[in-house]
Structure 1
């Protein structure tokens, strides 16, 4: 189901209207009320090099029976990039696609760099009950070395690394005062599996993910 298209009259909107009396989409053209699943979105975010993609692979294995885990960079393509508008098209496209996935009944865990001011003001935000943000972080020296160790095709030169370190510091300084606040998880010394377990617990509210042999 495309939440931007009225199921009765076929009218299209870029600004979905959710009725205040329940998870119902309201068509401003014909008045049709369409129930839909208004689920939470879990955003596993953070600066490049903090472990989002690596952790995401484990989350896919552990959470696949209840959640859909997605990698944000898969849509980082030329047609969706627009730096002059803070890549609004890219972010709106993600929220629209996730809202449709949610109609299958499974919440989405999105792994990729984003902060609340980039998602929360968008009209598609109305399609979610909440967006929770967990930012992976690590010490600046470790982050710089991780970025330097990346393959050459990723083009992490020193100016770009310096820019990412500045961005990481900005997140650390402002996470608690954003709306909603971002939780932080330090990955500096933690093994990947331990980080993934902590993220899994943050998503599910359960103490630890079950080992595969326990499932």
Structure 2
């Protein structure tokens, strides 16, 4: 059985719109049914500068053997930058493949529920839990200005990220997103909070 859940192992058909009921995928061409591991996905989101990337190594050490930590920017390559929807779809397919090994995925990256929930690949997960790390405009602006030049954080891009930070704070309750403000919180204390949040939702 291939790890790409869209491809039927019986006839080789690629299903752009997978037929999923519970934890069973049915091939739309030949009707072949196969079970798969349907686990929750954890999206650690928020604006740049709020601490997502910092959490990656800390959480990886704490969760070794329990979950798989992935950083979404590793696939932010030229081939995908022009099509954000495809970028999100690729990440959901990747996470679904990883979860076939029996461990849930924690995906660290800037994402909001509307960008995942409408995708066909959403059916591969029992739930997607969202935790947004946010910060004060002053703290985020200072952190982003301090980043090295290769990361290309000019003032217009910083202001755009601050707008996303404000939007996320205001929209989180209606989107089912939990929020944690990292402005005056240490890295270790933030990692404690994120760890507890994830462990409370593990199957």
Q: Which residue pairs with 2:8 in the alignment?
A: 6
Q: Does structure 2 retain, via aligned residues, the 8 Å contact 1:17–1:25?
A: yes
> What secondary structure does 1:37 align onto?
coil
Count of aligned positions = 199
2:122 is the alignment partner of 1:120: no
**d(CA) in 2 for partners of 1:17 and 1:81?**
28
Q: Which residue pairs with 1:53 in the alignment?
A: 53
Q: Which residue pairs with 2:200 in the alignment?
A: 205
2:190 is the alignment partner of 1:188: no
- Of 154, 178, 193, which residue of structure 2 is paired with 1:157? 154
Q: Which residue pairs with 2:36 in the alignment?
A: 36
- Of 145, 149, 154, which residue of structure 2 is paired with 1:148? 145
1:205 to partner: Cα distance: 1.3
1:163 to partner: Cα distance: 1.1
1:82 to partner: Cα distance: 2.1
Q: Following superposition, which runs of at least 4 residues in structure 1 exceed 4 angstroms of deviation? A: none
Instruction: State TM-score, norm by structure 2.
Output: 0.96
Q: Does structure 2 retain, via aligned residues, the 8 Å contact 1:66–1:107?
A: yes
1:161 to partner: Cα distance: 1.1
> What secondary structure does 1:18 align onto?
strand
**d(CA) in 2 for partners of 1:28 and 1:156?**
45
Q: Which residue pairs with 2:132 in the alignment?
A: 135
Q: Does structure 1 retain, via aligned residues, the 8 Å contact 2:15–2:28?
A: no
Instruction: State TM-score, norm by structure 1.
Output: 0.90
CA RMSD of aligned residues (A): 1.0
Q: Which residue pairs with 1:171 in the alignment?
A: 168
1:142 to partner: Cα distance: 0.7
Q: Unpaired segments of 5 or more residues in structure 2?
A: none
1:188 to partner: Cα distance: 0.5
**d(CA) in 2 for partners of 1:172 and 1:205?**
22
Q: Which residue pairs with 2:72 in the alignment?
A: 72
